């Protein structure tokens, strides 16, 4: 889907009759016999429906969806191994069905040069046609006096110039047309393309060497992949961005919240209020500001309070994966920086996300781990503008 962040995938439902509970060894996996029924190949990478039927469970079937599908081109992370069944191959895979030939791209400079060359070529063709007409007129007026052209003229010196001359030979107007095309070949500036490519190459080098385009935090210099587009950079007047993070640093940090009509967190700073309209910045809040410490105290001591449910939602209503590296260091991998900021905010408020164990989300409150079984998930979408989970309390 164009993003490189981790996507949450899971095995087919386990438990009585489930697929995962059938295999305890490689021998069990090798001996399995069954059938997979799924939808016809299509390009929708967010949708998949199918059923798995095993021979040792006649009459029973396990439903699978997009959360059980590992697409071609994906990299398996956060687990050592996985066993699966190939359902789409070759040109029927979703990544191939979504692929298309890249469009031909030309810079404004290249488009302008190509247009001018076509105009010059047209002018050359017209000028050659005019020259042929002028040649025919000139020939009809002075043909008898041009004996040295060896086309006609009986009074030419035979022995000096006309030994092998054919008096009956005539030059066609069609041949003369291409003669003039060759004579006017310098009209088309062939060397212009070479000059433009050399200039673009030097401009690309200057972009790569520009210290002001160097990102020190990630040690990433500028990299010009298309030298032909360098000239277009100076013609840009407007930049349109579809989301935050494209043009900004996109640093998400949990600052404040409102729970049960109580606002927790620090008041807006001057630089934040400066971005608001004057009438909003000058307005008085409907309730007093309460520090986050008060929210932490209620959330960690009273599991029946609205504050605890609020922070608990931050800790379990997400698709974040807790990944452990080879060095044992834990790191949150989220599909969006918003989710990562909310999970880190939950940890800061006393409810720490400790990963997932099967279908359960594990959180830690005051050092005590609690597992909440996830019964259903309604993913985030732009219409609802939220994500919902249904859980079973321990």
Q: CA 50 to CA 60: how far, in whole Å?
A: 13
Edge to edge, the sheet with strand 262-265 lists: 256-259, 262-265, 289-290
Structure tokens at 274: 């400066």
Of 242, 293, 326, 327, which one is the catalytic site residue?
242
Q: CA 66 to CA 39: how far, in whole Å?
A: 11
DSSP string computed for 11-53? PSP-STT-SGGG-SSHHHHHH--EEEEEPPP-S-TT--EEEEE
Q: Which residues contact 178 (CB under 8 A, 6 or more apart)?
A: none
Active site annotation includes 242: yes
Neighbours of 53 (CB within 10 A): 16
Q: CA 69 to CA 111: how far, in whole Å?
A: 44
* Torsions phi, psi for 323 (to 5 deg): -100, 135
Residues annotated as catalytic (active site), given as ranges: 242
């Amino acid at each position: 889907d164009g993003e490189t962040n981790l996507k949450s995938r899971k095995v087919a439902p386990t438990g009585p009759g489930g697929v995962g509970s059938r295999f305890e060894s490689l021998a069990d996996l090798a001996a399995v016999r069954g059938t997979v029924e799924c939808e016809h190949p299509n390009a929708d990478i967010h949708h998949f429906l199918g059923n798995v039927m095993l021979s040792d469970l006649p009459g029973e079937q396990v439903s699978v969806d997009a959360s059980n599908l590992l697409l071609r081109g994906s990299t398996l992370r956060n687990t050592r191994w996985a066993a699966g069944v190939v359902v789409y191959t070759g040109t029927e895979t979703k990544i191939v069905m979504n692929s298309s030939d890249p469009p031909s791209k030309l810079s404004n400079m290249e488009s302008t040069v190509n247009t001018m060359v076509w105009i010059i070529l047209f002018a050359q063709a017209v000028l050659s046609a005019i020259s042929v007409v002028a040649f025919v007129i000139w020939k009809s007026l002075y043909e008898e006096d041009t004996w040295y052209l060896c086309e006609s003229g009986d009074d030419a010196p035979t022995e000096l110039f006309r030994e092998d001359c054919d008096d009956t030979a005539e030059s066609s107007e069609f041949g003369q047309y291409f003669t003039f095309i060759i004579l006017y070949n310098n009209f088309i500036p062939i060397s212009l393309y070479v000059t433009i490519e050399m200039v673009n190459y030097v401009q690309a080098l200057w972009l790569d060497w520009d210290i002001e385009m160097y990102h020190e935090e990630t040690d990433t210099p500028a990299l010009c992949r298309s030298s032909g587009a360098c000239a277009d950079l100076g013609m840009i007047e407007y930049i349109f961005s579809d989301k935050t993070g494209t043009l900004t640093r996109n640093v998400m940090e949990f600052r404040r919240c409102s729970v049960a009509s109580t606002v927790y967190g620090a008041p807006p700073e001057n630089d934040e209020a400066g971005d608001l309209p004057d009438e909003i910045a000058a307005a008085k809040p409907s309730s007093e500001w309460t520090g986050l410490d008060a929210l932490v105290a209620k959330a960690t001591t009273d599991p029946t309070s609205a504050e605890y449910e609020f922070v608990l939602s931050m800790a379990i209503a997400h698709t974040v994966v807790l990944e452990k590296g080879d060095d044992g260091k834990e790191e949150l991998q989220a599909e969006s920086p918003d989710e990562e900021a909310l999970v880190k905010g939950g940890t800061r408020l006393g409810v720490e996300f400790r990963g997932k164990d099967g279908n359960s989300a594990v959180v830690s409150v005051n050092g005590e781990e609690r597992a909440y079984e996830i019964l259903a998930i309604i993913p985030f979408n732009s219409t609802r503008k939220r994500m919902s989970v249904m859980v079973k309390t321990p």
